[in-house]
Amino acid sequence: MGTRGALDVEDLLKIVLILVIVILVLEVVGRFVAILASISGLVAILIVALIIAYFLDYI
């Protein structure tokens, strides 16, 4: 009856630390995806230009 919880304070701090690291990793991945999404139009134009150059025997 006298037990309040089975987890120690150190275990709870480890869980919080892991969650903060996960949030930071997701932020970095989100920014990387946003950068890729912003240049996707430019990349698509570059790919089309390379295909046209290939068909016209410039490459």
Sheet strands (E) in the chain? none
Helices H, strands E: what count in the chain? 2, 0
Please state whether 26 falls in left (phi above 0), alpha (psi between -120 and 50) or beta. alpha
Distance CA 20, CA 29 (A): 14
State pLDDT tens for residues 7-29: 788 888 999 999 999 999 999 98
* pTM: predicted TM-score of the whole model, two decimal places: 0.55
Q: Which residue has the higher pLDDT, 20 or 40?
A: 20
Contacts of 53 (CB under 8 A, 6+ apart): 59
Establish how many alpha carbons lie within 13 A of residue 41's alpha carbon, considering only the half-sphere containing its beta carbon.
Answer: 1
